[in-house]
């Protein structure tokens, strides 16, 4: 029952630094108001889904609400130069569709990670 109804996919959480990744990025995106029509939204959504599937550095992406943004993506990068190249490609591809993008960069090799990303805590949830 657990595998049929609860577990969507099996995954692992690597030691990012041993794989050569230094940056975890959380990007918050505000799309242009012009996308509010159904036909424009549908076209951009289809293009977005196709583009996202071709970006191996993006771990998760989608719509969201709050803080004046309506989309997000979570990505990993080998270093700042790799991130900078990615964000420039993103802006060139999506510049006509976005008003703003704000990104928080997390140093995966730094000493500021107080609780590493893990699913273990879910087993402790009540």
| Per-residue model confidence as pLDDT tens digits over 22-44 | 999 999 999 887 666 778 878 88
What is the structure's pLDDT at 30? 94
- Candidates 112, 107, 102; CA nearest to 79 is 107
What is the structure's pLDDT at 8? 80
- 85, 75 Cβ separation under 8 angstroms: no
78 φ/ψ angles, rounded to the nearest 5 degrees: -65, -35
Evaluate whether residue 2 is within a structural domain.
no
Q: Which domain holds residue 93?
A: 16-108
Instruction: Decide the pairing of beta strands 58-66 and 69-77.
Output: antiparallel
Counting the structural domains of the chain, the total is 1
Structure tokens at 113: 């990670």
Q: What is the CATH number of the domain that holds 75?
A: 3.30.70.920
């Amino acid at each position: 029952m657990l595998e049929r109804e609860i577990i969507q996919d099996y995954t692992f959480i690597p030691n990012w630094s041993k794989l050569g990744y230094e940056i975890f990025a959380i990007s918050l995106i505000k799309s242009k108001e012009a996308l509010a029509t159904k036909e424009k939204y549908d076209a951009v959504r289809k293009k977005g889904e196709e583009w996202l599937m071709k970006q191996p550095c993006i771990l998760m992406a989608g719509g969201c609400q709050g803080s004046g943004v309506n989309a997000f993506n979570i990505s990993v990068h080998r270093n700042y130069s790799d991130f900078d190249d990615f964000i420039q490609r993103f802006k060139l591809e999506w510049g006509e569709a976005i008003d703003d993008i704000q990104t928080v960069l997390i140093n995966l090799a730094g000493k500021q990670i107080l609780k590493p990303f893990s699913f273990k805590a879910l087993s402790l949830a009540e």
